[in-house]
C-alpha cells in the first residue's frame, strides 16, 4: 500500500521484522505445521481494508492470463502479488516505496515458494524503474491516497504497459462532506493524504492517455463491508489474524475511522479499469 511522496509516507508504514511477525502470527493461530500459502497468509498480507475480497474483485476485472507479465504498483508486503501469481499462473512484479515492505515481501515469497514468480522492486509509482511497454497488465490497490502527483502516476502506468494493456486502480477519494477523520490506515494526518474527488480522478486518467473501460464510485457498494468491519472492531476487537501484525494495535482505530468517514460522506471509494490504446 505504501507509495510515493517521500520520507513521511514511508515512516508511517515502516517497521522491522514484518515477515517474522506475519509467520509467527500464522503459526500461533494455526499451529507450527501451518501451511504457508497465499491463501493462508491472506488475512495478514492484503493491506487494504476489505482484504482478500477486494483483491478478488480486482482480479475479476483485470483478468490476468497465464504467462503474462503483471505489475503491482504499491504492492506492500506482496500479498496480492503472490495470490495473483499463484492463482493465474503469471509473473508479477511487486513495486513498493517502503524498504521494510520490500524485504518482507521477499521473505514471504520465499516462505511460499514463489520467489521465481513474484519479483520485488523498491521504487516510486511516479518514477517507475521499468522500460516502456514491459507489462501486459498493471494494478494498484489503495495506493492513490499517498500520491500527490496523480497525473504522473497515471502517465507512468500508461508508459510501462504494452499497447492494449490494461490498468486497474482502486482507492479512497475525497467525499463531498469535508475532511475524513484522521488518523487513517494510510496517513496520520492530511499532510500525507492526497484525496481527489471521483470526477477529478476520471479526468486525470483520461488526460494521461488511457481509454476508460470501467469507472465508478463504489462507495455505496463497499459501505456494508466497512460497517460490518467497524461493528466487529468495536464489539469484538481485533481478529486473531489481522493487519495489527503489520501496523500494530492502532489499526483498530484507523479502520474504524475509515468506516465512519465513508458513512458520513467524507470518503469515497473509486474504481477504474483503463486501457492503453492499441
- Please give the torsion angle defined by the CA atoms of residues 124, 84, 93 and 267, in that order, rounded to the nearest 10 degrees: -10
Q: In sequence order, what are the beta bridge partners of 212?
A: 274
Q: What is the per-residue pLDDT for 56?
A: 98
Conformation bin of residue 244: beta by default, left when phi > 0, alpha when psi is -120 to 50 = alpha
Max intra-chain CA distance, the chain: 52
Contact 136, 164 (CB under 8 A): no
pTM, two decimals, is 0.94
Q: Which pLDDT value is given to residue 16?
A: 80
Tell me how far apart the alpha carbons of residues 117 and 84 are, in angstroms, rounded to a whole number. 10
Tens-of-pLDDT digits for all 278 residues of the chain?
Answer: 444 444 565 665 567 899 999 999 999 999 999 999 999 999 999 988 799 999 999 999 999 999 999 999 999 999 999 999 999 999 999 999 999 999 999 999 999 999 999 999 999 999 999 999 999 999 999 999 999 999 999 999 999 999 999 999 999 999 999 999 999 999 999 999 999 999 999 999 999 999 999 999 999 999 999 999 999 999 999 999 999 998 999 999 999 999 999 999 999 999 999 999 99
What is the distance between the alpha carbons of residues 45 and 51, in angstroms, rounded to a whole number?
A: 8
Instruction: Using DSSP, state whether 228 is helix, strand or coil.
Output: helix
SS (H, E, C) 80-118: HHHHHHHHHCCEEEEEECCHHHHHHHHHHHHHCCCCCCE
For the 7-275 domain, the top CATH level (class) is alpha beta
Supply the pLDDT for residue 4: 46
Q: For the chain, what percentages of helix, strand and coil (3-state, to nearest 5) are there?
A: 45, 20, 35
Are 142 and 218 contacting, i.e. CB atoms less than 8 angstroms apart?
no
Domain boundaries, the chain: 7-275
Round to whole Å and give the CA distance between 258 and 114: 32
Amino acid at each position: 500500500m505504501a507509495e510515493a511522496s517521500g520520507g513521511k509516507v514511508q515512516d508511517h508504514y515502516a517497521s522491522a521484522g514484518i515477515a517474522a511477525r506475519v509467520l509467527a502470527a500464522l503459526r500461533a493461530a494455526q499451529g507450527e505445521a501451518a501451511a504457508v500459502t497465499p491463501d493462508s497468509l491472506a488475512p495478514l498480507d492484503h493491506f487494504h481494508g476489505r482484504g482478500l475480497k477486494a483483491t478478488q474483485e480486482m482480479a475479476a476485472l483485470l483478468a490476468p492470463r497465464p504467462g503474462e507479465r503483471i505489475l503491482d504498483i504499491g504492492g506492500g508486503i506482496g500479498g496480492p502479488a503472490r495470490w495473483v501469481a499463484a492463482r493465474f499462473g503469471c509473473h508479477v512484479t511487486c513495486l513498493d516505496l517502503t524498504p521494510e515492505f520490500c524485504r518482507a515481501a521477499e521473505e514471504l515469497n520465499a516462505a511460499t515458494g514463489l520467489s521465481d514468480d513474484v519479483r520485488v522492486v523498491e521504487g516510486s509509482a511516479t518514477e517507475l524503474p521499468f522500460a516502456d511497454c514491459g507489462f501486459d497488465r498493471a494494478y494498484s490497490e489503495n495506493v492513490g491516497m499517498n500520491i500527490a502527483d496523480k497525473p504522473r502516476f497515471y502517465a507512468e502506468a500508461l508508459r510501462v504497459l504494452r499497447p492494449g494493456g490494461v490498468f486497474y486502480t482502486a482507492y479512497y477519494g475525497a467525499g463531498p462532506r469535508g475532511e475524513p477523520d484522521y488518523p487513517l490506515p494510510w496517513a496520520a494526518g492530511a499532510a500525507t493524504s492526497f484525496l481527489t474527488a471521483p470526477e477529478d480522478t476520471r479526468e486525470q486518467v483520461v488526460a494521461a492517455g488511457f481509454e476508460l473501460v470501467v469507472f465508478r464510485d463504489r462507495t455505496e457498494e463497499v459501505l456494508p463491508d466497512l460497517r460490518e468491519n467497524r461493528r466487529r472492531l468495536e464489539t469484538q476487537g481485533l481478529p486473531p489474524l489481522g493487519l495489527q501484525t503489520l501496523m500494530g494495535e492502532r489499526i483498530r482505530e484507523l479502520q474504524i475511522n475509515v468506516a465512519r468517514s465513508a458513512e458520513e460522506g467524507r470518503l469515497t471509494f473509486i474504481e477504474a479499469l483503463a486501457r492503453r490504446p492499441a
